[in-house]
Structure 1
């Protein structure tokens, strides 16, 4: 049998959170007989979690904000590209995308970019948004293929003339259904979080940063507690807003009903405690936690923005509410709490959708096809 050289892929990732979970699931199901995977990541990542997933793992000093250190990071990354000589570089998120394409100038590796949510989709001043658009347009010239994790992301790219449609490849994100089915029951209980056993838990998973709308979540919580006093609110995540959120709850007199876990290894342990799952994002490239909620069979209330309506059909497998609208979010949670049949409908329809459309093994297979396609085109 003839030896077939593996396709070597250099993955570069700066942003953690959902990107980290996405990358680990992707690597898990990529065919190890056909692909060699090298991961270069920021210090927000944990090397031990990539053992058995990546053939090599290295850290690179990368910062989320734009600054003079980016040039040093690009120079260091260029040295590693020359050392590993990958067939393809796969850049995850906007900062990694910029560094990879800068570092790869004049080198022979093909470049794939996955923004995981365009930077210009964020809520930023128009001047800054225009700068982000111009940067993405310029960088697209040095990109062989751009992976969009939702149709909304592709649509945004075309609307802003980032590149030709032929460079945009939609691979909708997914969750690891197989691992979830095999996982052991969670050991996390309400009492571990100082939540009364008889309380209703309304929860949200996400970074405690403006994008995810945790501040809107707490405004919703305040309104809900005016209607019912038996609800506790669980935020699963960490971030710069944590103290501001705690201060808000304390100032408004409901701190004892708010619980923040900080970063956790396995969000499913906490999602399983939810009675109602919420995501009140201001913008989303995909919203990976929504299929995670569906897999756990939780009724969902989420914002109508970007890719989320691809995941949730209002009134069928969840409720959609306007951005920044704590009052409507409160009303929809109350509707669910008052209607067990509706909860069951959302749970069943959500589980069906995640099995049919959002299995991470499909995502890995689609990437295999993509990498082999661009490898053949690049020869």
Structure 2
């Protein structure tokens, strides 16, 4: 695959014409809930001030951006053909009005708009980010996976560059979509400038606090963690599990089992600032996910200097350095029980400096912004050097 960012990641020179002008990036989003909104906020905050970011997104998702970007919305709450049509019409109107220098399409359903732009509107440098390849959610060899992979491959190759958010997804792209110009720009998290909130977690030399953050659903693997934790408490009495998040499909028998455990505290959903206070106070973060495109909470944990116990699925093993920033555990209950039983507070404390160093060197927003500056600059420079652009 052709590299748009060189391995040294040094700034790429621009022509004087490109340097002198303000450049516009138009982001087209069929959804901006959760991770995509965070992605856009970090990009706006960490890239050069020369870039003006415009976003087309559903009206009911606009609040996710917290007023940090220039937005144009379309009215559609349900995913449907009508919603895609409204996204396309709105994006076309903004493109005609603002005349962006770069087009940036986010997530699978925006591929339809990207194809339309490339076929029927003046050609501009185009970037696509899947935020997790859709085909990876389905069983290998299944018909649904094959059909979605076929569509992703042939639509994604229209883009000049496809940004993968993790090394795992980059490898998947290289192996399965050979005609796609995939590049790796790992996700990142912003530094915390605000003073941390007082923690409600009881800390003591005699208690080891384990933290889980996220939805209590099958993907996030909380069922496995809870069973493994309960088994571990039979071997030692100093363990406590703090759960930040909640069930997404209502109450169940499993909910009652969690509530009955005196060694588990359910804290419900918390603000990002409150989550940071939990990450600061707990001894280790548990991430037992069955699948993850990246695992942003791992980077957030390292920002707090907190080691991570992660499953061996998808992108997670690439994020954790065993015996340095945590451990990678095979996705079996017996392995997780054994890993929890073996945890030692003094060992975890020794890992904190390495976790902080990993955040600064690998997951800091400044690195993310610099790599996108390089990508944007290279694409504009290629456009300026083309006599037909």
Q: Which residue of 229, 238, 242 corresponds with 1:221?
A: 229
The answer for the alignment partner of 1:20 in structure 2 is: 37
SS at match of 1:210: coil
* Gapped regions of structure 1 (runs ≥ 5): none
Using the TM superposition, name which of 204-213 and 143-152 deviates more: 204-213
The answer for the alignment partner of 2:183 in structure 1 is: 169
SS at match of 2:285: strand
The answer for the alignment partner of 2:330 in structure 1 is: 322
* Gapped regions of structure 2 (runs ≥ 5): 1-15, 384-388
How far has the Cα of 1:155 moved from its partner? 0.9
1:268 and 2:266 equivalent?
no
Q: Which residue of 340, 345, 364 corresponds with 1:333?
A: 340
Cα distance in 2 for residues equivalent to 1:158 and 1:5:
35
The answer for the alignment partner of 1:116 in structure 2 is: 131
Question: What pairs up with 1:182-197 in 2 under 5 angstroms?
Answer: 182-190=193-201
Higher relative contact order at CA 8 Å, sep ≥6: structure 1 or structure 2?
A: 2
SS at match of 1:211: coil
Question: What pairs up with 1:1-379 in 2 under 5 angstroms?
Answer: 4-13=20-29, 14-32=31-49, 34-43=50-59, 45-47=61-63, 49-51=65-67, 53-54=68-69, 56-61=70-75, 69-102=83-116, 105-108=119-122, 109-124=124-139, 126-161=142-177, 163-164=179-180, 167-176=181-190, 179-180=191-192, 182-190=193-201, 200-228=208-236, 231-237=239-245, 240-241=248-249, 243-244=251-252, 247-251=253-257, 254=260, 257-262=264-269, 264-266=271-273, 267-323=275-331, 325-336=332-343, 339-378=344-383, 379=389
SS at match of 2:210: strand
Query: Which structure has the larger Rg over C-alpha atoms?
Result: 2
How far has the Cα of 1:72 moved from its partner? 3.7
Residues 102 and 201 (structure 1 numbering): CA distance in 2 closer, same or farther, change over 3 Å? farther
Cα distance in 2 for residues equivalent to 1:219 and 1:254:
13
Q: Is contact 2:27–2:53 with CA below 8 Å preserved after alignment?
A: yes
Aligned residues: 363
Q: Is contact 2:243–2:267 with CA below 8 Å preserved after alignment?
A: yes
The answer for the alignment partner of 2:8 in structure 1 is: none
Cα distance in 2 for residues equivalent to 1:114 and 1:120:
14
How far has the Cα of 1:314 moved from its partner? 2.2
Residues 102 and 287 (structure 1 numbering): CA distance in 2 closer, same or farther, change over 3 Å? farther
How far has the Cα of 1:208 moved from its partner? 4.0
The answer for the alignment partner of 2:386 in structure 1 is: none
Q: Is contact 2:279–2:301 with CA below 8 Å preserved after alignment?
A: yes
How far has the Cα of 1:319 moved from its partner? 0.9
SS at match of 2:20: coil
How far has the Cα of 1:215 moved from its partner? 2.8
How far has the Cα of 1:89 moved from its partner? 1.9
SS at match of 2:282: coil
Residues 62 and 352 (structure 1 numbering): CA distance in 2 closer, same or farther, change over 3 Å? farther
Give the structure-1-normalised TM-score. Answer: 0.83
Residues 88 and 271 (structure 1 numbering): CA distance in 2 closer, same or farther, change over 3 Å? same
Q: Is contact 2:286–2:308 with CA below 8 Å preserved after alignment?
A: yes
SS at match of 1:226: coil
Q: Could you say what the CA RMSD is over the residues aligned between the two structures, in angstroms?
A: 3.1
